[in-house]
Structure 1
Amino acid sequence: MRNNEGMTDAAALTGWTLAYSGKVRDLYTSPDHPGRVLMVASDRVSAFDHVLEPGIPGKGELLTTLSKWWFAQLDGVPNHLAPSTGSGTEAVSGAAIPEAVATRAMLAVTLDMYPVECVVRGYLSGSGWLEYQATQSVCGIALPAGLNDGDRLPEPIYTPAWKAPLGEHDENISFERTVELVGAEVASALRDASRDIFTRASAIAEARGIILADTKFEFGAHPETGELTLGDEVLTSDSSRYWDAALYETGDRTASFDKQIVRNWLKANWDPSTATPPPALPQEIVAQTAARYRELIERLTGE
């Protein structure tokens, strides 16, 4: 059951209390399940630090499905999913994910999250392209001259960002700044893990005719072991830029499987630098975005 803002009706989540509501996900805790958090993905969609209207039907379920699939592919990479003791919605300690959100929720171990978005770019696009045009670098990393929007980089680059508090803009930072935030050992571990996961995921996507252009990871320390652990969503259409490899080869670098459709429409119909709220998304843009999300899952998972 959903209310008008796209949040889950609390009455449908007996025993769980809303602890945090982000742009697209809501987090719930329960005294019956200490050390666990229920992450519920909504159908809300955000761009340019604004939550847009209307949402994308089925988006929460699609992105949750994709995250779970990627966690399963990344064998050997510790992640935040609570170990299951049963089947279906049964989770650790016999706790059941409420039926109302079973298809779009993950029961996760509560991590001590690091304040860094670990961005890896294999291709030059988005904010990286804008920065390159001005400085021929991205986050202080010098790049070859003569690159164009959408070009593949000589090798993937790690370009972290500081996770700003809700309502503020995330800020691209240098690796040196990351060291100041979390220490040299953790900063290096974040960088190395991000690069490794990106390389593995890129190969998996490439085998299915998909280009993983860039993505962002979030990590935390496991509260009991201190182990670096992958958290939040992973390699979804919201956190990543995916392209159709066959179309890319023809020179079409716009065939994305993410919310770039939404961004493109907004930039053509609204100035993100103004204080005016963004306009409502047309139904055709909503439908196109939902279709691309579904197509990505079908092509990656074969389901």
Structure 2
Amino acid sequence: MTEKEVKLGPVVIEGKTKVVYQAADDPELVVLQSKDRITAGDGDRSHDLKGKAAISTDTTTAIFELLNAAGIKTHFVRRQGETAFIGYKCEMIPIEWVTRRIATGSFLKRNQGVKEGFRFCPPKQETFFKDDENHDPQWSYEQCLAAQIKVGGVLIGRDELDIMSRTTVTVFEILERSWASLDCSLIDMKIEFGVKPSTGEILLADVIDSDSWRLWPSGDKRLMKDKQVYRELKEVTADALDMVKRNFEWVAVRVKLLSPKPQARAVVLMGSSSDMAHSEKIRMNCQTLGVPCELRVTSAHKGTEETMKILAEYEGEGIPTVFIAVAGRSNGLGPVLSGNATWPVINCPPLSGDWGSHDIWSSLRLPSGLGCSTVMFPEGAALCAAQILSLSDHVIWSKIRAKQLNTWIGLKEADKKSRNDK
């Protein structure tokens, strides 16, 4: 059953390529309606492009769904129809955040001597003040701070700038790895933030579509599929606009492939059903990180042949797998798995009682030729497994990256509160 559409209230703001409506029945929601319009150069170049609104909505919806699933805080709620989506009402912060992996475009004009293709590690970040009349001038961190911008009851100070800065890089890296899974290079991108007045939260807002980035298939600038093609047109003809539209459609089709079902898993093997509660904690933490997790009961001491059959079953399927061995007392399970598996093995023994400090040595002190690691707590074992699997699964990688960001933001906000409580 489809969700009920939000009725449109008055226009909140209208721009060159979209209209924002207040939701008629909910003061905290707005509807962002895209237009069949393409512009460049602060509106100096502007043309109708039939179908662009639907293409833009396809793209931005898929991107925000990916980011929401990863754990990034955004204003996106859900799609509404072919050309609009529902979001939380935000007061927009008039700063545009640009992240660059490769030096190209306007960066080269502003930084003469830098060769095109220079790779920024870490990504290069720039900020621009939203001011069409002055062509969005570049601002330094200090200028952003000195401006004393107040939005939605929130003064944009050091903490707020730092949160937006770190979130911007995280969003770029998540999308960069996502596009890399399709052999496309995300060269640079711009995003904006807003303040949700009811909570004071800073949320990733506005839209993210082919107007927002440079995207080069196979890392080849000649194959670019972004709005730069439109910017560089010497003459805007019907055929040229049709080519631009086809590029945007190419992106809109592929962006839906950026959130595949997980292609990796963790398998918890416990030596006894008495270890079930400990193993369930591991599974719960794995699932939080987007890692499918299965539980099995097998004893390397009492049922070695069956343990080997289970191992062969999983390795034979060819799905990237991390095994987590849960066995107390004399841990034979982890070492036996490690000695016979090509996939990684993590020991996470259920330590308790007076013998816990002794039991752990059977997981730590291993015979030569074995490489299983030992993690003492379920959350740590799940995170270790997720980090291993994230090497080949960008969805899991994204959840880890967003988790790290949200932990950092939580500490930042707690520090700010402690200062203000003086």
For Structure 1 versus Structure 2, the TM-score category normalised by the shorter chain is 0.7 to 0.9
> RCO (CA 8 Å, sep 6+): is it higher in 1 or 2?
1
Cα distance, 1:302 vs. partner? 3.5
Q: Which runs of 5+ in 2 are unaligned?
A: 1-5, 148-155, 259-422
TM-score calculated relative to the size of structure 1 = 0.74
Counterpart for residue 104 of structure 1: 83
Cα distance, 1:51 vs. partner? 5.8
Q: What pairs up with 1:49-64 in 2 under 5 angstroms? A: 49-50=42-43, 52-64=45-57
| 1:156-214 Cα shifts (integer Å, max 9, x gaps) | 111011111x5542111112212223211111111110011111110001111111111
CA RMSD of aligned residues (A): 2.1
Flag as ranges the 4+ runs of structure 1 deviating above 6 A.
Answer: none
| 1:236-257 Cα shifts (integer Å, max 9, x gaps) | 11011111125x2xxxx23211
Greater helix proportion: 2
CA distance in 1, matches of 2:26, 2:13: 17
CA distance in 1, matches of 2:217, 2:246: 14
CA distance in 1, matches of 2:134, 2:83: 27
Cα distance, 1:33 vs. partner? 2.6
Q: What pairs up with 1:21-60 in 2 under 5 angstroms? A: 21-50=14-43, 52-60=45-53
Tell me which of 95, 112, 135 is aligned to 1:169.
Answer: 135
With over 3 angstroms needed to count, the CA separation of the structure-2 counterparts of 1:59 and 1:150, relative to structure 1, is farther
| 2:242 aligned with 1:287 | yes
| 2:241 aligned with 1:241 | no
Residue identity matched to 1:34: P
| 2:12 aligned with 1:19 | yes
8 Å Cα contact 1:113-1:221 kept in structure 2? yes
Cα distance, 1:78 vs. partner? 1.1
Counterpart for residue 186 of structure 1: 160
Cα distance, 1:15 vs. partner? 4.6
Q: Which runs of 5+ in 1 are unaligned?
A: 1-12, 90-96, 137-146, 270-280
8 Å Cα contact 1:29-1:37 kept in structure 2? yes
CA distance in 1, matches of 2:53, 2:115: 34
| 1:85-142 Cα shifts (integer Å, max 9, x gaps) | xxxx6xxxxxxx5xxxx21111111113212111111111111111111xx5xxxxxx
Counterpart for residue 160 of structure 1: 127
With over 3 angstroms needed to count, the CA separation of the structure-2 counterparts of 1:149 and 1:187, relative to structure 1, is same
The percent identity for this pair of structures is 24
Counterpart for residue 215 of structure 1: 189
Q: What pairs up with 1:190-205 in 2 under 5 angstroms? A: 190-205=164-179
CA distance in 2, matches of 1:18, 1:113: 15
Cα distance, 1:225 vs. partner? 2.3
Tell me which of 144, 150, 171 is aligned to 2:117.
Answer: 150
Larger radius of gyration: 2
8 Å Cα contact 1:44-1:51 kept in structure 2? no
CA distance in 2, matches of 1:283, 1:81: 34
8 Å Cα contact 2:7-2:24 kept in structure 1? no
Aligned residue pair count = 243
